[in-house]
C-alpha cells in the first residue's frame, strides 16, 4: 500500500539514529531494525540497533550530564520542559500521524495520547520550582532536623509499545524536573515517537546527555549490563509483569531503586442500581480505548444478574457498530493489534472461552486481509474457568460474567494476582465506598471508565507493580531524602 505524502513526510522527519550525548549516531557496527505499520504489515522505517557498547556510551553521557544538570536552576529546567510542551502542542497532528503509523490506534486516539503525554511535561515543569524539604526542631529541643530532597541520579527508562509517548513522558517529565538524567529505551515496535520526542527536547534547549535514547532488537542483552552498572541510580519500567520480575531480579545486584508499572486484569463492576447508560459509556472507554491494548483496560465485566442481559445487549450493539480499520482512515474506532503474536493470543483466549461455554454476542474472529485486525468482541455467560478472566487479554474483547451479591462481586474482582485498577458503577455512594475500600487495586474509576491524569498517582499493587507516576508522588520517585541532624538553635527551656 503506497504511503501518502503526509505519511512519508512525518516518517522521514524522524531521525532514526541513536541519540547519545546530544549527538545522533549510527549503532556501532551499523546494525538496524525495521519498524512496521501493524495495519499493513509493511516496513515504514529502519532505526538503529544499539549494541552493548552503545548502551554504555548512553549511560556514560547521562552520568556526565548529571554532574551539571542537577545544579541547573529549577526555573531553567522548568522552562525547557515548558518549551517542549509548547512544541509538542504545535506538532500534535504530525506526532499523532506518526504514532498511528507505528502503533495502529486511530489518529484521534493518538491525539488523545499526545495531549495526555504532553501534560506530564507541563505538570512537572510547574513542579520543578516547588521541590522542598523540611526544617524542624527535634523532640528534645536541643537540635534541629533538616530534611533535603535531592535528585537521585542517572536513570534507566524502559517503555512499552502501547502508549509510545506517554509511557516515556510520565518518567522523563518528573526526572528532568528534579535534575535527573536518563537513558530511555522504547519498545522495538514503536521507537519513532520517542525519537521524535528526543528531537523536540533538543530543540527546546535540553543540554546534551540529559536524555539519551537507544533503540534495539535485543533489549535484554543491552539493558542488563546497564541495570548492573553502579552509575545507574534508578530504573523505571513499564511493561509486562513477566519482564518486570526479571528486571527486579537484575536490579537486586546493586540494590537499585526501581519503579514497576506492570500488567493488569481490571475488573469492571456494575451493581443493580447503576446508571446503565453511564456504565455502557464507561465500559466503551475502559475496554475499547487503545483497542483494549492498555494496562488499564477493563479485562472482565462483573455485572449484577438482574441487569446483566440489558448491559450485555447494549454493549454488544455499541461495540458491534465500531468501525475497524487503519487508524488513518476517517471514522475508524478500532485499529489493528500490534502484531500477529498479540492477535493470536487474543484469538486463543476467545476460542478457549467459547469452547468452555461463553456466548459470542458480537465479533469473535480475526478480520481477513492485511494487518493484525481482530473484530471487536463481546462474550456473554463467560464461565469462571475461562482463561481470559485470569489473563490480561490486551485486545478488543469484553467478557461478561454475573454476580448476585456485593461480597461475591468483591471476591471475584480481587481473585487475581494483579492489582492495577478497578471500575465501580453504582449510584449508591455508601455501597461504592464499602466496595472501593475492599478492592485490591492501586486505582479505582468510580462511575467513570478512565483514570489517567497527569496530576494523579498512577500505579498498582500486588503484581501490577510498585511506585507511582503522575502527581506529587511521581516526583518523589526521582528524589532522594537526606536528613541532617544539626546541633544548632536556642537550647530548650527547662520547666
Q: Which residues are catalytic?
A: 261, 295
Distance from C-alpha of 30 to C-alpha of 53, rounded to nearest angstrom: 12
In whole angstroms, give the CA distance from residue 416 to residue 462.
9
Contacts of 139 (CB under 8 A, 6+ apart): none
Span of 94-102, 119-127, 182-190, 228-236 interacting with ligand NAP by CB under 6 A: 182-190
* 101-160: contacts with ligand NAP (CB under 6 A): 158-160
Q: How far is CA 285 from CA 42, 109, 327, in A?
A: 29, 11, 17
Alpha carbons 433 and 424: distance in angstroms, whole number: 10
| Per-state percent for the chain, helix, strand, coil, to nearest 5 | 40, 20, 40
How far is 71 from 181, CA to CA, in rounded Å? 12
Least Å distance between CB 319 and ligand NAP? 21
Least distance (Å) between residue 133 CB and ligand NAP: 29
The window from 56-64, 109-117, 255-263, 485-493 that contacts ligand NAP (CB under 6 A) reads 255-263
Given the rule CB under 6 A, which of 100-108, 161-169, 381-389, 404-412 is the region that contacts ligand NAP?
161-169
Indicate the residue whose CB is closest to ligand NAP. Answer: 239
The least CB distance from residue 170 to ligand NAP, in Å, is 8
341-380 footprint of ligand NAP as x/- string (CB under 6 A): ----------------------------------------
The only residue of 127, 202, 392, 477 in contact with ligand NAP, by rule CB under 6 A: 392
| C-beta separation of 353 from 345 below 8 A | no
Distance of CA 339 to the CA centre of its chain: 19
Residue 87 makes contact with ligand NAP by CB under 6 A: no
Q: Does 243 contact ligand NAP by CB under 6 A?
A: yes
Q: Please answer whether residues 298 and 283 qualify as being in contact, where contact means their C-beta atoms are separated by less than 8 angstroms.
A: yes
| Residue whose CB is less far from ligand NAP, 57 or 251 | 251
Q: C-alpha grid cell for residue 21?
A: 550525548
Contact (Cβ atoms closer than 8 angstroms) between residue 283 and residue 266: no
Q: Which residues pair with 259 in a beta bridge?
A: 236
**Contact between 220 and ligand NAP per CB under 6 A:** yes
184 sits near ligand NAP (criterion: CB under 6 A): no
Q: Which of residues 420-449 bind ligand NAP (CB under 6 A)?
A: 420
- What's the closest the beta carbon of residue 263 comes to ligand NAP, in angstroms? 3
Among 103, 200, 223, 389, binds ligand NAP (CB under 6 A): 223
Query: Nine-digit cell at 82?
Result: 515548558
Judged by beta carbon, residue 220 or residue 357, the one nearer ligand NAP is: 220
Find residue 47's DSSP bridge partners.
33
When asked if residue 249 is in the footprint of ligand NAP (CB under 6 A), the reply is no
**Within 10-49, which residues bind ligand NAP (CB under 6 A)?**
none
Nearer to ligand NAP, 240 or 448 (CB): 240
| CA nearest neighbour of 22 among 64, 77, 80, 74 | 64
Give the separation between CA 377 and CA 146, rounded to whole angstroms. Answer: 57
Nearer CB in complex with ligand NAP: 67/245: 245
- Pair 233, 152: CB distance under 8 Å: yes
Q: Are 409 and 302 in contact (CB under 8 A)?
A: yes
Residues that bind ligand NAP (CB under 6 A): 158-163, 167, 185, 187-188, 219-220, 223, 238-240, 243, 246-247, 261-264, 295, 392, 420, 460, 465
Amino acid at each position: 500500500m503506497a504511503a501518502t505524502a503526509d505519511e512519508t513526510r512525518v516518517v522521514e522527519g524522524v531521525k532514526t539514529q541513536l541519540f547519545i550525548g546530544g549527538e545522533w549516531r549510527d549503532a556501532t557496527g551499523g546494525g538496524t531494525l525495521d519498524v512496521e505499520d501493524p495495519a499493513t504489515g509493511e516496513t515504514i522505517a529502519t532505526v538503529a540497533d544499539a549494541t552493548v557498547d552503545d548502551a554504555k556510551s548512553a549511560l556514560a553521557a547521562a552520568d556526565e550530564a548529571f554532574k551539571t544538570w542537577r545544579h541547573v536552576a529549577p526555573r531553567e529546567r522548568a522552562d525547557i520542559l515548558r518549551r517542549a510542551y509548547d512544541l509538542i502542542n504545535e506538532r500534535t497532528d504530525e506526532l499523532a500521524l506518526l504514532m498511528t503509523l507505528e502503533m495502529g490506534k486511530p489518529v484521534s486516539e493518538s491525539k488523545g495520547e499526545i495531549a495526555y503525554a504532553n501534560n506530564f511535561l507541563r505538570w512537572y515543569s510547574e513542579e520543578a520550582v516547588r521541590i522542598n524539604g523540611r526544617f524542624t526542631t527535634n523532640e528534645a529541643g536541643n537540635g534541629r532536623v533538616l530534611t533535603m530532597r535531592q535528585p537521585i541520579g542517572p536513570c534507566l527508562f524502559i517503555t512499552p509499545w502501547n502508549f509510545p509517548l506517554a509511557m516515556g513522558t510520565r518518567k522523563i517529565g518528573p526526572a528532568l524536573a528534579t535534575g535527573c538524567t536518563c537513558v530511555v529505551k522504547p519498545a522495538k515496535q514503536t521507537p519513532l515517537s520517542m525519537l521524535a520526542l528526543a528531537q523536540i527536547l533538543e530543540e527546546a534547549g535540553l543540554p546534551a546527555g540529559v536524555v539519551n535514547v537507544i533503540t534495539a532488537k535485543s533489549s535484554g542483552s543491552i539493558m542488563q549490563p546497564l541495570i548492573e552498572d553502579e552509575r545507574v541510580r534508578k530504573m523505571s519500567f513499564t511493561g509486562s509483569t513477566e519482564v518486570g520480575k526479571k528486571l527486579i531480579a537484575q536490579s537486586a545486584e546493586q540494590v537499585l531503586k526501581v519503579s514497576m508499572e506492570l500488567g493488569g486484569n481490571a475488573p469492571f463492576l456494575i451493581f443493580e442500581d447503576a446508571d446503565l447508560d453511564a456504565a455502557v459509556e464507561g465500559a466503551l472507554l475502559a475496554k475499547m480505548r487503545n483497542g483494549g491494548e492498555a494496562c488499564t483496560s477493563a479485562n472482565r465485566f462483573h455485572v449484577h444478574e438482574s441487569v446483566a442481559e440489558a448491559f450485555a445487549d447494549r454493549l454488544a450493539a455499541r461495540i458491534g457498530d465500531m468501525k475497524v480499520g487503519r487508524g488513518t482512515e476517517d471514522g475508524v474506532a478500532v485499529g489493528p493489534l500490534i502484531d500477529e503474536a498479540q492477535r493470536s493470543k487474543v484469538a486463543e483466549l476467545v476460542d478457549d472461552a467459547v469452547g468452555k461455554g461463553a456466548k459470542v454476542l458480537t465479533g469473535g474472529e480475526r478480520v481477513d486481509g492485511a494487518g493484525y485486525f481482530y473484530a471487536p468482541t463481546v462474550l456473554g455467560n463467560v464461565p469462571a474457568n475461562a482463561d481470559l478472566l485470569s489473563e490480561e487479554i490486551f485486545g478488543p474483547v469484553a467478557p461478561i460474567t454475573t454476580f448476585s451479591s456485593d461480597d461475591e462481586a468483591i471476591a471475584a474482582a480481587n481473585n487475581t494476582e494483579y492489582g492495577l485498577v478497578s471500575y465501580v458503577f453504582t449510584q449508591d455512594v455508601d455501597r461504592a465506598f464499602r466496595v472501593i475500600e475492599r478492592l485490591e487495586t492501586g486505582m479505582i474509576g468510580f462511575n467513570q471508565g478512565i483514570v489517567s491524569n497527569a496530576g494523579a498517582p498512577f500505579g498498582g499493587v500486588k503484581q501490577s507493580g510498585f511506585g507511582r507516576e503522575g502527581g506529587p508522588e511521581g516526583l518523589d520517585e526521582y528524589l532522594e531524602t537526606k536528613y541532617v541532624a544539626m546541633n544548632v538553635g536556642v537550647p530548650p527551656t527547662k520547666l
